[in-house]
Amino acid sequence: MLQDGEMGTPAACLFDLDGVLLDTEPLQALAWQEAAIHFGCALDASQLLSLRGRRRPDCAEQVCHWIRTATGSSPGFGALLAVRQPLADRLLVAAPPMPGAEALVQRCLERGIPMALATSSARAAVERKAAPHPWLDLITVRVYGDDPELRGGKPSPEPFLLAAARLRAAPADCWAFEDSQAGLQAAVTAGCRVFALVPDLAAGAALTVPEGVTVLRSLKEVAL
């Protein structure tokens, strides 16, 4: 457990959603895998990991490229998503919270620490995934992947810069919680103090944790 003195207190906490507050990443990966297999291409573990943290259109473009490389023809963006989306919708409503996530959000609220969501997921997808988790309603300030004010998705720093701006906090005074390569790059470039949540050592081995980022095995280690 990190001690309070070591960590200090942030002006605000900026949370990624998938893989940080909700354990959706294995389900997201399964939906991409099943969709790719539908078009004749099985993805490997490193390909699936590289999709983490990125917006759905960016992932779809990447997966179409892999399918074209493997099979000689691409299903096209729309056809791929038409196969993938029903799978994802069915799987993701069952995503459990990450250990310690609900308690950390509650503690931020009790301590008056402002919170924002900085997610690559589109608003409609977040609403579906969050429906079984009323504690997520405590985070009212949100930047979605399809946010009209967003100029670029992770790994661009824009989602974190926009989230901090909406809380009227300086990014350098914010703590950002991330789990993916794209998300870590985004949060570090935004200038936040960054915590990398790496509960899974196998997945973590493929992650390059940028300098200055604190690695957590669980959100239970956050002393707030």
Binding site for Mg ion (CB under 5 A): 16, 18-19, 53, 179-180
Closest CB to Mg ion among residues 95, 169: 95
Active site residue 173: no
Smallest distance from Mg ion to CB 36, Å:
20
Catalytic annotation, pick one of 18, 89, 137, 173: 18
Catalytic annotation, pick one of 4, 16, 89, 200: 16
Smallest distance from Mg ion to CB 125, Å:
13
Smallest distance from Mg ion to CB 197, Å:
8
Q: Are 212 and 194 in contact (CB under 8 A)?
A: yes
CA distance 153 to 182: 9
For the record, the structure tokens of 89 come out as 């919708």
Smallest distance from Mg ion to CB 52, Å:
6
In angstroms, what CA-CA distances link 208 with 47, 137, 182, 198, 212?
15, 32, 10, 11, 12
Closest CB to Mg ion among residues 17, 164: 17
Closest CB to Mg ion among residues 18, 39: 18
Q: Are 194 and 160 in contact (CB under 8 A)?
A: no
Active site residue 18: yes
Neighbours of 177 (CB within 10 A): 26
Question: Which H or E run includes 216?
Answer: strand 214-216
Closest CB to Mg ion among residues 49, 67: 49
Residues 6+ apart with CB under 8 A from 57: 77
CA distance 178 to 184: 6
Active site residues: 16, 18
